[in-house]
Structure 1
Amino acid sequence: MAATRRAQRTKTQLPFCYYEGFLEKRSFKDKISRRLWASLCGRSLFFYNNSKDNDYVDKQDLSSFISLTDDCSHDRKLDAARFHLRLEDDDIYLTAPSLEARELWKGFIYSVVKLEVPTSLNLLPGQIHMLREAVDKEIERLKDIAENSATTQASITVATTEPGDYLPVLSEMPACFHRVLREDAENLLEKNKEKGNLLLRPSRDGNSFAVTTRQDFGGPVFRHYRVTRIPAGGFAIALDNPITCTSLHDVINYLMLKTGGVFKPLVLEHTYEESIVYVEDNKENGEQSVRCASSSPVSVPTPKLPPKPAPRKKVSDPKESIYLNSDEDFSEEEAYVPPLALSKPPGRGLVHQTSMPDLQIGPGGALLPPTRPRSATENPATKPRRSTPPLAVAESLSQSFNEELKQKVLLRGVSD
């Protein structure tokens, strides 16, 4: 089987270009040096035949950067300046058209790889400002890649031959990647058919990807292609003869290349409102109208705090036991209110009964009231005299009369 030609990424799909210009490139792989148009996009050097080409002919990744030094050997061109780019897997000899261009190339390469502006180069203040902007953009780009990689690693992973070992998708996702399902992908392509007809999405099983395309053939026609992850590295388009690609970008470019540019990736740009727009209800007729708020700055008044209430004085409850400790701390300013004095009821207090009185039974089995014990403090001299009731007087008179009557009867009997 013939080797599949690797699809290239176009300039629109590459990262932001920090610096570009003509360079003569020669390495151990190249027999002769070639004059190419070089573009520093992200942490990679892309080489084109000329500045108008859309597809690059060579790419050099700078992630394995070791050093960058000047080459003092003379060139056939007196104004040219050489420098040596040393990587872990290759040595590249580059020639810039001038000394100033060489300093700029060295400054941008150092800034992108080290993420700091070099201080040992002879650069103008404006050029140093350009290097600082490149460092800020590269830091932001790497941050976005790390966030996308973390999200993709959590949602889409493919198991290798060893259980528990996973290969996350660490490469940068294409711009046409949309996290939608099959039905949503078809609706998205149908609504935005003027912007593109191809998108990349996660597969339903969560372990692979899928490419969804839309074309008009008597109506909308949708097709879906499965893209699986190869454990050894890369991706494969699951066709009758599987097509292997090194990255998801190459998957998209391969489909575009094989169809002669018929497939166009769907890239949606997020738009944001430039003014505050809101819907207002009319209370009189119940109709709604769209209003646009003014964008003039408005000073928001600082809300005033309510006054702090004064501490209330605690009045002690007279019924509360004086032996109970309160959980609250009272300040010295709180006035002490003495407990109210309870007035004693008039009259003599009740004599408390300490023993059970003896019960007395009268004639007929009736209970008689208990006899009240004489108080220890009560004596005949201090005991108040009680008035004799009338019944007692009548009984005493009847007894004396009976005694007198009996004596008379006895005397008459003696005389007879």
Structure 2
Amino acid sequence: MSVNPRVVHKRRETITALPLYYSGHLQRKNSNEQDFKKFFGELRGTTLFLYEDDTQHTYSEKMNLEKLKSMELVGHYQQKVPSTFNLNLHTEKVQLKMDNLDKGMEWRGYILTVIKKEVPSKLLPGQRLLLEEVLAQEKKRVHPGHRPPLPPRPDFLCAASPSPKHPKDEPDHKASTMPECFFKVSRDEAEKMLEANPEYGSIILRPSTRANNYALTLRQLTASGTAMKNFRVTPAKTGFVIELDKPVTLSSLNDVISYFLKKTEYRLQPYRASQPYDTSIDVPPAPKCINISPPLPKTVPKAQVAPMKRTETKPEESDYVVPDDCAPEYLDLNQSKSQFDGELREALKSRRANIYAANEKEELSIYQNQASSKSQSVAVQWDKDSSAA
């Protein structure tokens, strides 16, 4: 079943995060190779991505053409034979072969336009229009704000200015912190480490055989035994891409490890090598400048003046000492107090008698008044009865 080309291009754009300018079949050969290899190439930005065929989602190789020095045609202009171009890069020399001269010149025009930032001369009007659109799109990608250039800075500010930071949309892969399970080992060495020491962990992040790429080696327990799996992790403009059936883009390598831990329900753990432990205790020697003799007792200084002796006078046996409670002043005070208590009792007794007498008189008068009023009412009633008779 063929894959829809639009779906393939969308997935490739997600992985590379670069606009597509030109694509087509071509062949490539490095300086140390004898035969050409067939690829499907895509020019995205200033990078040439090479795929095994036009249905592959992830690229097999890529070429950074940003520092391209020249692209020259090999041989004479012949229409019906494949055309070969020499690309002089800053690190190596590469040859690209196209099916015919027209395809080769189209590739050359697009590559030189995005690298030199100018449209080549001697083009047809339709070709010039297409390349001008590509050039405008590339300038917008490289300089999104179209800000005017800043004036030159003074020398003293240039000396004190800090080093420029990487823009937010281009993460620095080299400066990012590497996970603890990263080891500079090959695929076979990583599998041997996981097989020999399963108690240390089951995930190793390692460099890939491709330049500037990474790979992840896992050791999993299955019903039939242990299985080793390897995944490719590719750096991209927005972070790192795990090349799965549906590629996953994450911001850092630590997030890549966390993604695998979550997907395996934390049954796998990052590989951490064992740290050596000491098995003996060394007693340090005693310091030489410490005095271990007991402290001397403190001496109290002697007084300069002899203390005066206090003499106490004792009463003679013939003298009689009168106690304090039997002193004459105390006896007079007790007598006056008892006399005052007696007078107070008499006054209270007479006051109480007067109160009782007054109360008896008042009760007697009330009783007499009630009796007289009762007798009067009886007499009146008697008169009424007698008159009625």
TM class by smaller structure: 0.3 to 0.5
Greater share of helix: 2
* TM-score normalised by structure 2 residue count: 0.40
Structure number with greater Rg is: 2
